[in-house]
C-alpha cells in the first residue's frame, strides 16, 4: 500500500512588508505598506502589514485610497533584490528539513515532509512549528503552514484556514473538507476569479461544496480541461509530486512594462517595443536559448473600457537576435493596433530550443547581427545595463534607463 504523503504549503505573511519591518525595527508598531511609485502609474499597494490591514488597507488598491483610510501609513518603496534574497534564504531553511522543496511563488513554497516526520514524533504540527520558528528567527518573517496529503489540500488549507488562525498552522484531512472548506463561497477557492464565479452562480453553484458535488461531465462540457481542474481542486484531488525541477523547464522568456503615461504615437510605442525586445533577447542569449514564436501584448489606457490585443507570430527559424524579434513584434503591432492610447506593452519568446544549433543560410547576415548582440551583451555585463544603448532609447519615449534600475518592474 502506498504511504500517504504529508505536504506543506508554507506561505510568508505580508512578505514584502515583513522584510521591510525586519530591516527597520523602528517601524515595528506602525502600519506599513510597500507601494510602487505614484508618479509612474504604479502607485498601488504591493503589500500591507497586518497593522495596515486593520485599517482596511488592501493589496492592489491605489495608494491614495489607502492614505484616506490610514493617513499615518509608513510608505516604503519596493526593494525587489532584497525580497529575492530573503526568499532564497527561506528556501534554504526549508531545505534543511526536507530536500523536496518546490517554489510556488516568491513567498510560497511546497514541501514534502513525509520522510522527515519521524524526527518530530511523526507530528506535522511540531515540524511546522520548527520551520516557522527558524524562518522567524533568521529573517523576521512570520510563516504560515497549510498541511495536507497533497498539494491542493495544503494550498486550500493554508489560504482558507492557516492564514486566519493565530498559530498560522493547520492540518486538513481530506475527509474533513466538508467541515472546513465546502461551506465557503466558490470565490474563496484558489483558481476561481470573478468571471468564473458568475458563470458558476448561474449554474446554481454557490459554494465549494456545490462545485465538488457537481457532475464532472457538466463542468467538462462547459470548460473542458479547466472544468475538471476546478472540480478536482474542490474535491481535494491531486496526484502531482512536490518536484524540485518543476520550474527548471522554462516555456517562454518574456518582459513587459506599464508605461509612465499614455502613449498615442506609433513611433513612441515602437521605441518601447525595441527596448523590451532587446531585454527579452538578452535574457534568451544569457540562458543559451532561442525561440520560434514571438508574442506581443498591448493593453489600452482606459480601464473602464479595455482595449488592446495579444497576438503571436511563428518565425521561419528559431532566433534570439534582437533585430528579428523586434521586427516580428513591430509587425504584430501595426497589423493589430486600433490606434487607441497604450498603457502597457509585453513581449515574449516561446517555442524555446538550444541556441547552440541554428540554421545557416546563404542570403542573410545573421552572423553580423549575432556579433552586434554579443558585443552589446558583453559591454552591459561588464559596465552595467545603461553602458550602451540604442539612440532611440535616449528619447522621451525610451524606457531602457528607467528599467535598468528595476527588477520585475519594481526598484531593486
- For the annotated catalytic residues, the residue numbers are 108
Contact 20, 13 (CB under 8 A): no
Residues in Cβ contact with 234 at an 8 Å cutoff, skipping those fewer than 6 apart: 182, 189, 208, 209, 211, 212
Integer CA distances (angstroms), 205 to 185, 187, 198, 223, in order = 9, 11, 9, 15
Residue keyed to cell 501584448: 297
Residue keyed to cell 497593522: 51
* Burial zone of 200 (CB within 10 Å; 0-12 exposed, 13-18 middle, 19+ buried): buried
Residue keyed to cell 517595443: 273
11 is in an annotated binding site: yes
Closest CA to 169 of 157, 156, 177: 157
Integer CA distances (angstroms), 349 to 23, 74, 278, 286, in order = 37, 39, 12, 14
Handedness of CA 94, 95, 100, 104 (dihedral sign): positive
Residue keyed to cell 531585454: 279
Q: Please, what's the largest Cα pairwise distance for the chain?
A: 70
All 3 cell numbers of residue 182? 465546502
H-state helical runs in 140-241: 151-160, 177-180, 194-202, 208-212, 216-223, 225-234
Residues in Cβ contact with 32 at an 8 Å cutoff, skipping those fewer than 6 apart: 17, 20, 21, 48, 49, 51, 52, 73, 74, 75, 76
Q: How many CB atoms lie within 10 A of CB 409?
A: 15
Phi, psi (deg, nearest 5) at residue 396: -60, -30
CA–CA gap between residue 204 and residue 179 (Å, rounded): 21
Binding-site entries: 11, 107
Binding-site entries for Mg(2+): 11, 107
Amino acid at each position: 500500500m502506498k504511504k500517504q504523503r504529508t505536504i506543506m504549503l508554507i506561505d510568508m505573511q505580508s512578505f514584502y512588508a515583513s522584510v521591510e519591518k525586519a530591516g527597520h525595527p523602528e517601524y515595528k508598531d506602525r502600519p506599513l505598506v510597500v507601494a510602487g511609485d505614484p508618479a509612474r502609474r504604479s502607485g498601488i499597494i504591493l503589500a500591507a502589514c497586518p497593522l495596515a490591514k486593520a485599517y482596511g488597507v488592501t493589496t492592489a488598491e491605489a495608494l491614495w485610497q489607502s492614505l484616506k483610510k490610514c493617513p499615518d501609513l509608513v510608505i516604503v518603496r519596493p526593494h525587489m533584490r532584497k525580497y529575492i534574497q530573503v526568499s532564497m534564504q527561506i528556501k534554504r531553511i526549508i531545505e534543511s528539513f526536507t530536500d523536496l522543496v518546490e517554489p510556488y511563488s516568491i513567498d510560497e513554497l511546497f514541501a514534502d515532509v513525509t520522510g522527515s516526520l519521524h524526527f518530530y514524533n511523526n507530528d506535522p504540527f511540531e515540524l511546522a512549528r520548527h520551520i516557522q520558528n527558524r524562518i522567524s528567527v533568521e529573517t523576521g518573517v512570520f510563516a504560515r503552514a497549510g498541511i495536507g496529503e497533497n498539494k491542493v489540500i495544503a494550498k486550500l488549507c493554508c489560504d482558507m484556514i492557516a492564514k486566519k488562525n493565530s498559530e498560522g498552522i493547520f492540518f486538513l484531512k481530506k475527509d474533513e473538507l466538508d467541515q472546513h472548506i465546502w461551506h465557503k463561497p466558490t470565490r474563496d477557492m484558489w483558481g476561481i476569479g470573478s468571471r468564473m464565479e458568475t458563470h458558476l452562480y448561474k449554474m446554481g453553484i454557490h459554494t465549494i461544496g456545490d462545485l465538488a458535488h457537481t457532475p464532472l461531465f457538466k463542468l467538462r462540457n462547459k470548460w473542458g480541461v479547466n472544468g475538471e481542474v476546478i472540480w478536482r481542486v474542490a474535491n481535494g484531488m491531486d496526484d502531482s509530486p512536490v518536484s524540485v525541477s518543476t520550474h527548471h523547464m522554462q516555456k517562454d522568456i518574456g518582459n513587459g512594462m506599464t508605461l509612465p503615461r499614455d502613449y498615442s504615437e506609433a513611433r513612441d510605442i515602437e521605441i518601447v517595443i525595441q527596448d523590451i525586445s532587446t531585454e527579452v533577447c538578452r535574457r534568451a542569449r544569457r540562458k543559451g536559448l532561442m525561440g520560434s514564436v514571438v508574442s506581443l501584448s498591448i493593453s489600452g489606457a482606459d480601464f473602464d473600457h479595455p482595449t488592446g490585443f495579444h497576438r503571436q507570430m511563428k518565425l521561419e527559424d528559431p532566433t534570439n537576435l534582437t533585430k528579428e524579434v523586434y521586427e516580428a513584434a513591430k509587425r504584430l503591432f501595426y497589423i493589430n493596433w486600433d490606434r487607441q492610447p497604450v498603457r502597457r506593452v509585453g513581449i515574449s519568446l516561446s517555442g524555446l530550443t538550444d541556441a547552440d544549433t541554428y540554421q545557416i543560410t546563404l542570403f542573410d547576415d545573421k552572423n553580423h547581427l549575432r556579433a552586434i548582440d554579443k558585443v552589446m551583451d558583453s559591454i552591459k555585463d561588464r559596465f552595467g545595463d545603461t553602458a550602451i544603448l540604442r539612440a532611440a532609447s535616449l528619447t522621451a519615449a525610451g524606457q531602457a534607463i528607467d528599467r535598468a534600475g528595476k527588477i520585475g518592474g519594481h526598484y531593486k
